[in-house]
Every structure is written in structure tokens, then in C-alpha cells.
Amino acid sequence: MKGAYVLFIRLDVGRNIQIGRLGRFCFTRGYYAYVGSAMNGIESRILRHLRSNKKTHWHIDYFLRKAKIIEVHCFSSDKMEECRIAQKFQKRFLSVEGFGCSDCKCSSHLFYSPRLSDLRL
């Protein structure tokens, strides 16, 4: 299946995390939604995100060293829907500037809420 996905992530303790060359960010304890795409197979991309032993390649890899994926939602599509989904989150939630969007014009693909239930669109 190809399309977009949202990882729902829990960070148990607030902490400063170096996100590759993007820089060091202060992340607040709570819940995060990360919007991604996998036009060559969502299943393998999600399995990669769930692995703890992997090379750090994307911004999300650095964050997941300290945080835990608790839920995954997938959206099957032949078109790139990642940015459209991210824009919906952007309207309602705080975001981490520049996170996960180095290949598009979005301001972020990582969004924060103190409560998981609030992150569901």
C-alpha cells in the first residue's frame, strides 16, 4: 500500500533532543503526531519506524530514540497527501518548526498536544 501515515507518539519526560542538522529542540512531555508518506510501501516504512535499532536518517529517527510510537493511522492514496494532512494539524496544534518537511513548503510535520485525544482530527 502507498500513501500517507500519522504516527502518534508519547514522550514521557520533557527533554532537549538533537534532531540531526536541524538543531537541538526542547520537547515538552506529552503527545506528538508525525505526518509522513511512503509512496513505495507504508508497511515497510512503519516497520522501520517501529524498530529501535536503525540508522538515523530522517528527523523522526532522532525523536524516536527518546519517544515511543503508541498508534499508527494509514491513508492509502496514489497521490502525495502528506502535506494536506499536515496542514490540517497545523491549523490546530503547536508544531516543531522545520521538522520533517525539508522536501516541501510546510512549516512542520510534527505537532504537539498535552493530550492524545486532542490530536485526533
State the DSSP code for 100. T
Q: What is the pLDDT of residue 36?
A: 97
- Cβ contact 62:19 at 8 Å: yes
Measure the CA–CA gap between 72 and 70, rounded to whole angstroms: 7
| Average pLDDT score over the chain | 96
Residue spans per domain, the chain: 3-119
Per-residue pLDDT of 3-59, as tens digits, reads 999 999 999 999 999 999 999 999 999 999 999 999 999 999 999 999 999 999 999
Q: What is the pLDDT of residue 121?
A: 72
- Cβ contact 43:4 at 8 Å: no
